[in-house]
Amino acid sequence: VPWFVAVIDGKPDFRVTRNGAREEAYRFAKCWICGDKLGAHLAWVVGPMCLVNHTSSEPPSHQDCAEYSAIACPFLVNPQQQRRPYALPSGVQSPGGVALDRNPGVALVATTTRDCKAFGDGSGGWLIRFGVVTQAKWFAHGRVATRDEIIASFTSGIEILRDLARTDGPEAEEELQRQYERALEMVPA
């Protein structure tokens, strides 16, 4: 059971983050998966769109812990598996930001230096912006993802971000395009 998972009525609910876990992990540099101290490198388990805006709602993990969860987590392994928002315990809050309510189909383990910063999302929540990505490893169905799978996930996800950027005006759209091209450079040939 990953360190962040809430235990509800004696059973771990993998959809729910334990109260205060995000704050504790971020502030004390604890691995999101095992809870031990992080080292010089941070590994973020994210969807492809998080590579576009370098933003994650979940704190980082050790490289090995991140790769393990990208291979073993049922939600990340089975792209057909939808998020299950029904019957969430009362009091469960969204972490903040605009989460894309879709299964990206591809899980990315993005490795960075310790350079990251929490910021407010403007509506009471907070997210983490991570720095330069030094390595990107892609997974789908519990194995290494193919280029086609990665590109398919990018092209469906970017349309959602483009719709959001459009409401913010042309500058936001241009900035998004720059970020998108930077992210595509991390896709294997």
Note the residues at the interface with Zn ion (CB under 5 A). 31, 33-34, 62, 65
Query: For 22, what's the count of Cα atoms within 13 Å in the CB-facing half-sphere?
Result: 15
Residue type, 108: L
Please, which residue, 22 or 62, has the CB nearer to Zn ion?
A: 62
Closest approach of Zn ion to the CB of residue 65, in Å: 3
DSSP result, 21-40: HHHHHHHTTB-TTT-SBP-S
Extract the tokens encoding 160: 């959602």
Closest approach of Zn ion to the CB of residue 153, in Å: 25
Please, which residue, 61 or 179, has the CB nearer to Zn ion?
A: 61
111, β-bridge pairs: 43, 135
Q: Residue 22: CB partners within 8 Å, gap ≥ 6?
A: 4, 57, 58, 59, 95
Please, which residue, 42 or 183, has the CB nearer to Zn ion?
A: 42
d(CA 46, CA 73): 12
Closest approach of Zn ion to the CB of residue 32, in Å: 8
Please, which residue, 34 or 187, has the CB nearer to Zn ion?
A: 34
In terms of Cα–Cα distance, which of 2, 32, 34 is closest to 130?
32
Closest approach of Zn ion to the CB of residue 109, in Å: 12
Please, which residue, 30 or 183, has the CB nearer to Zn ion?
A: 30
Extract the tokens encoding 56: 């994650």
Closest approach of Zn ion to the CB of residue 64, in Å: 7
Asked if 45 and 107 count as a contact pair (C-beta separation under 8 A), the reply is yes
Closest approach of Zn ion to the CB of residue 61, in Å: 5
Please, which residue, 63 or 153, has the CB nearer to Zn ion?
A: 63
